[in-house]
Amino acid sequence: MSRLIVISNRLGDPSKPPSGGLAVALNGALNALGGVWMGWSGTISDTAKSDGDVHTQQAGKVTLVGVDMNKAEHDGYYLGYSNSTLWPAFHHRMDLVENHQKDFDQYCMVNRTFAQHVAKFIEPDDVIWVHDYHLLPLAQELRSMGVTNKIGFFLHIPFPPSQIVTAIPGSEWWMEAMFSYDLIGFQTKADATNFRLYAERQLHEDIGGETDTVTGFGQSVRVRDFPIGIDVEQFRALLTHEEAIELRERLEVRSSGRRWITGVERLDYSKGLPERLKIYRQLLHKYPENQGTTSLVQIAPPTREQVEAYADIREELELLSGAVNGEFATIDWTPVRYIHRQVPRTRLAALFSISRVGMVTPLRDGMNLVAKEFVAVQDDDDPGVLVLSEFAGAAEQMKDALLVNPYNIEHTADALQRALHMPLDERKERHASLKKVVEEGDVVTWCRDFLEALQKV
């Protein structure tokens, strides 16, 4: 078996145990095969050279390569083109897209720098796996340096329809570059179809029947869905920690007769947080029996705060949660508990496990791992209900959730009411089906399937 070279925007911190499923899966694959993991070190330094200061460290069979950035690179490549152009556009928010030539230039330069650094570590049989929208053109840079190894790419966020792609400044360049990969993995079939339709509509290619191969710019690439999963056992094991046990006991005592609706995500405009508060407010208006008996716990830690659109969403959310509490709270009941901080994963698992409803209602999401984490820790004999946006990639697999359109506040409030009062038999039936999806498609399976497909290309 070949060695594995992973390249992602951010290098994991090897001195800490991996917290997310992705880091666990990649660590697992890297440790099994040996290889290199390269990414931004997390350091912004004014003294970093324009081609990045590089730090290497050996962790068992894996070489970790961290690249520092200077402020101009971080502003242009990361905050700029990646997170103020590509992220909003890929989440269908063209109104938030910024268009600055200097950002695009930095994006191109950082991708070239990453390619130059990683090229030094590549051996003839290595397999290369590139992650996410920060690094769309990386394979083309590597090819231009003479790298002929197999190179795969996985996009963690949605891939938009061709009309959106063509509207993104710089897209013709990185679309062409994407054909330098051997395999492109998307979260859903719908994303893979969008890519194929780009080739048909914009490049006038014949995309033919059911084949996975898409041609364009005189090259061809394999394209398929590889829905990402979670590390089910690791997440469930969190419930056995002292902290989780203690929190469950406290919440169960306090909530006797009360129902918790839980939402957890980074404070991002793609996650539909203002809509969620409006849906909950509508629930309390339309179904007043929930007043005093139901609470919404919304955990939304800060993210990308230097990008303006993120400050706006924070303000809107604070206003809305204050307004709902002002309208409905009583001396002994708080309808909305809004927490704008990171919360330890042990506590998240405990909270999910006692919640009657997991509310996962993004306006657009690549997959959404919270939906899977919620299902993983439900009690088989008395499970909670997942209310899931049809615009999350997870909806393509998790059809036994209550699927909703979060733009439709009225209907989603009705679905929430249905979830809160769903009979036990129906809850059990839906949960059994969702649990199967989550267990059968865990993160280890995802990683293995992708690497096997890449080896076979």
Candidate segments 98-106, 279-287, 364-372, 444-452, binder of ligand ADQ by CB under 6 A: 364-372
Q: Which of 53, 100, 105, 156 is catalytic?
A: 156
* Nearest to ligand ADQ of 147, 394 (CB atom): 394
Pairing of strands 336-339, 4-10: unpaired
CB of residue 91 vs ligand ADQ: minimum separation in angstroms? Answer: 8
Q: Print the binding letters for residues 276-305 with ligand ADQ: x by CB under 6 A, - otherwise.
A: -----------------------x-x----
Q: Give, for 149, the enclosing helix (H) or strand (E).
A: none
Does 400 sit near ligand ADQ (CB under 6 A)? no
Q: Should residue 89 be labelled a site residue for ligand ADQ when binding is judged by CB under 6 A?
A: no
Complex with ligand ADQ: residue 130 or 147, whichever CB lies closer: 130
CA dihedral 104, 205, 213, 113 (to 10 degrees): -20
Q: Is 337 in the site for ligand ADQ (CB under 6 A)?
A: no
Amino acid (1-letter code) at residue 439: E
Query: For the residues of 234-261, what is the DSSP string, one character each?
Result: HHHHGGGSHHHHHHHHHHHHHTTT-EEE
Cα–Cα dist 251/260, whole Å: 9
Calculated CA dihedral for residues 254, 260, 264, 269, nearest 10 degrees: -130
Residue number, 187 or 294, with CB nearest to ligand ADQ: 187
Select the residue interacting with ligand ADQ from 14, 18, 20, 34 (CB under 6 A). Answer: 20
End-to-end CA separation in angstroms for the chain: 15
Could you write out the DSSP letters of every residue in 19-47? -SHHHHHHHHHHHHH-EEEEEEEEEE-TT
And the tokens for 241?
A: 């920690």
Pick from 118, 177, 264, 376 the residue near ligand ADQ by CB under 6 A. Answer: 264
365, 400, 414, 442: which is the annotated catalytic residue?
A: 365
Nearer to ligand ADQ, 207 or 267 (CB): 267
**CA gap 126, 385 in Å, rounded:** 44
Q: Is 68 among the residues known to form the active site?
A: no
> Does 451 contact ligand ADQ by CB under 6 A?
no
For strands 4-10 and 35-44, give the pairing: parallel
Q: For residue 315, give the amino acid letter.
A: E
48-87 residues in contact with ligand ADQ (CB under 6 A) are none
Is residue 266 near ligand ADQ by the rule CB under 6 A? Answer: yes
Q: Are 6 and 131 in contact (CB under 8 A)?
A: yes
Residue 41 and residue 68 in contact, taking contact as beta carbons nearer than 8 Å: yes
Residue placing its CB nearer to ligand ADQ in the complex, 81 or 87: 87
Query: Looking at 75, 182, 373, 400, which residue binds ligand ADQ (CB under 6 A)?
Result: 373
Identify whether the C-beta of residue 38 lies closer than 8 Å to the C-beta of residue 29.
no
Neighbours of 166 (CB within 10 A): 14
Q: Which of 366, 384, 406, 441 binds ligand ADQ (CB under 6 A)?
A: 366
156 tagged catalytic: yes
Written as six digits, the tokens of 8 are 């992602």
Any contact of residue 342 with ligand ADQ (CB under 6 A)? Answer: yes
Using CB under 6 A as the binding rule, whether residue 191 contacts ligand ADQ is answered as: no
- Minimum CB distance to ligand ADQ smaller for 314 or for 411: 314
Which residues participate in catalysis according to the annotation?
156, 365
Binding site for ligand ADQ (CB under 6 A): 20, 22, 156-157, 228, 264-266, 299, 301, 342-343, 345, 348, 365-370, 373
